[in-house]
Amino acid sequence: MPDPGAVGPLPPTSGPVGGAPQRLRGGVLGMADIAAATMANVGPAMSFFFGFAFLATTAGIASPLTIAAAGVAVALLGNTLAEFSRAHPSAGSFITFVGKTFGPVSAVTTALLAGLGYIIAMASVIAISGGFVQITLHHYTGVDLPWIIWTLLLTGLAVVLMLRGIVVSTKWAGYFFGVEMLVLVVVSVAAIVEHRGNLSADPFLPDHITHGFRGLAAGFPLAVYLFVGWENSAALAEETENPRRNVGRAVFSSVAIMTVSYILFAYATVTGFGYDLQRLGDSAIPFIDVAHHTLGALAVVAYIGGLTSTLGVLIAGINSQARLIFNAGREGLLPSFFGYVHPTRRTPNNAIVTFTVTSLLIIGGWALGHLLGSDGGPMNPVVFFTESSSLGAILILLVYLASNIALPLYYRRYRPQEFRTVRHLVLPAIGALSILVPLYYLAKPGQPAPYNWFPYAALAALLAAVGYATLLVRRDPGLAERVGSVVADVE
């Protein structure tokens, strides 16, 4: 059966202004551009700074092994994304892939879950960007301006760059990523050299994982979250040269580089703490402490790496994730308002601004909840980073899961002659199983507040999305034909 997504233009009624679909600027990004944007979206410095202490105390000294396992799991997810993008490259990414396989109700549901999940997760990044500036300035100058001021300034700068165009903003995200990676590698190598007389292979031995397999499983979702953003390149397909080939190459190269890098950073950190889990877990930002011990006054470079990382994630993350919402608006899955493209720069301005403002509103609502809650205190951006990213991750993982289930069905239905058992059935099946582990640990009962109500919030969002999708498809039967109808490399 031919893939109906390969037809190109939408029906006349589907565009946001009632005509042909509005398109982004095609072919202006190369493979290196989208790979750099993907790794900038991962934000290794930001993710590692604020995530590794919890991971290490959960998984133990052998936390690098947990990171390696997460890298393999993300590579399995990368196979799903690469195979879908090879067959049907689209700015809609997961939304398009699930919708083409299971129909319009699933497409609208995925659009709502993915949009909400990414917005909530990005709220954590937006908050921590200002929080990290506050931490840095207070450490070096004693000045303690509220973090929300810096958050608004940095977010405004990121939005300005994004509205100027995909090429400009992607280049800047790549520059910021280059700086953070240089800093991370320099500090890590310096720490290993500093402790060369006490180096141990313990971080790579399975029997040093706390509580064995149970500890590995418990730390696994934390390790997987270090990689969130790996899917960035798929949403840039419409603006990428030869997306059928380059999206997959960008995904796999990015995951490989991030896996090796995180293992290096983790080894350097546990080594820098003398393999003392208690001290490591008590540190707010272990890598920064290692930098202070290793470099002394030059540890300021680690702070610079953290600052550039948050900026890179802001730009690359909102750029790609807002494009999912844009494409959903363009195809009628969401209000057509989101499908607007700037006539000159070809940027999805409405989607970018709405995405950002909604994230800021979530931060404001969360902060108000803290003020009105039983504690009655201000919101800590570092704590919010963990809370908000955990809730967003549940919704995002549901989208990953649906995509892995969809891949074999899509190829059997639309491209049976290209179906390969390993690539299109075995690997996505293992990928789906690997997603169930972090989902279980994020949703299991008995967690402290607010984590104990996150699964119920996610379930409520899922049911509401399905209900809305069912009503929308019933009201607009033509929606089925519009799902995935704009293919990235078809003009």
Q: Do 28 and 167 meet the contact criterion of CB atoms below 8 Å apart?
A: yes
Q: How far apart are the first and last CA of the chain?
A: 23
pLDDT for the residue 10: 38
Cα 65 from Cα 266, distance rounded (Å):
10
DSSP 144: -
pLDDT for the residue 7: 40
pLDDT for the residue 11: 37
Give per-residue pLDDT as tens, 114-149.
999 999 999 999 999 999 999 999 999 999 899 999
Q: What angle do CA 321, 31, 46 make, to 5 degrees?
A: 50
Of 314, 455, 325, 306, whose CA–CA distance to 395 is shortest? 455
Cα 414 from Cα 424, distance rounded (Å):
13
Give per-residue pLDDT as tens, 454-471.
999 999 999 999 999 999
Of 418, 490, 489, 482, whose CA–CA distance to 95 is shortest? 482
- Is 488 or 60 the better-scoring residue by pLDDT? 60
Question: Predicted confidence band at 19 (pLDDT cuts at 50, 70, 90)?
Answer: low
pLDDT for the residue 9: 38
62-76, 211-225, 316-330: lowest mean pLDDT where?
A: 211-225
| 243: amino acid identity, one letter | P
Contacts of 232 (CB under 8 A, 6+ apart): 34, 37, 38, 41, 42, 254, 316, 317, 320
3-state secondary structure the chain: CCCHHHHCCCCCCCCCCCCCCCCCCCCCECHHHHHHHHHHHHCHHHHHHHHHHHHHHHHECCHHHHHHHHHHHHHHHHHHHHHHHHHCCCCCCHHHHHHHHHCHHHHHHHHHHHHHHHHHHHHHHHHHHHHHHHHHHHHHHCCCCCHHHHHHHHHHHHHHHHHHCHHHHHHHHHHHHHHHHHHHHHHHHHHHHHCHHHCCCHHHCHHHECCCHHHHHHHHHHHHHCCCCCCHHHHCHHHECCHHHHHHHHHHHHHHHHHHHHHHHHHHHHHHCCCCHHHHHHCCCHHHHHHHHHHHHHHHHHHHHHHHHHHHHHHHHHHHHHHHHHHHHHCCCCCHHHHCCCCCCCCCHHHHHHHHHHHHHHHHHHHHHHHHCCCCCCCCHHHHHHHHHHHHHHHHHHHHHHHHHHHHHHHHHHCHHHCCHHHHHHHHHHHHHHHHHHHHHHHCCCCCCCHHHHHHHHHHHHHHHHHHHHHHHHHCCCHHHHCCCCCCCCC
Cα 217 from Cα 69, distance rounded (Å):
10
Q: What pairs with residue 240 in β-bridges?
A: 29
Tell me the average pLDDT of the chain: 90
Question: Predicted confidence band at 216 (pLDDT cuts at 50, 70, 90)?
Answer: confident
Cα 216 from Cα 455, distance rounded (Å):
22
Mapping DSSP to helix (H, G, I), strand (E, B) and coil, where does residue 227 land?
Answer: coil
Q: What angle do CA 324, 327, 394 make, to 5 degrees?
A: 25
28-32, 35-39, 481-485: lowest mean pLDDT where?
A: 481-485
Question: Predicted confidence band at 17 (pLDDT cuts at 50, 70, 90)?
Answer: very low
pLDDT for the residue 219: 85
- Is 421 or 9 the better-scoring residue by pLDDT? 421
For 353-386, give the DSSP string.
HHHHHHHHHHHHHHHHHHHHSSS--PPPHHHHHH
pLDDT for the residue 485: 76
Q: State the residue for tokens 């600052």.
A: 307
Ordered alpha helix ranges (H), 142-242:
147-164, 166-194, 213-225, 232-235
pLDDT for the residue 386: 87
pLDDT for the residue 97: 93
Q: Provide mean pLDDT across the span 24-45.
A: 94
Q: Percent of the chain scored above 70 by pLDDT?
A: 94
Of 305, 307, 295, 310, whose CA–CA distance to 178 is shortest? 305
Q: Provide mean pLDDT across the span 417-437.
A: 94
Give per-residue pLDDT as tens, 236-274.
999 999 999 999 999 999 999 999 999 999 999 999 999
Flag whether pLDDT at 4 surpasses 80. no
Question: Predicted confidence band at 20 (pLDDT cuts at 50, 70, 90)?
Answer: low
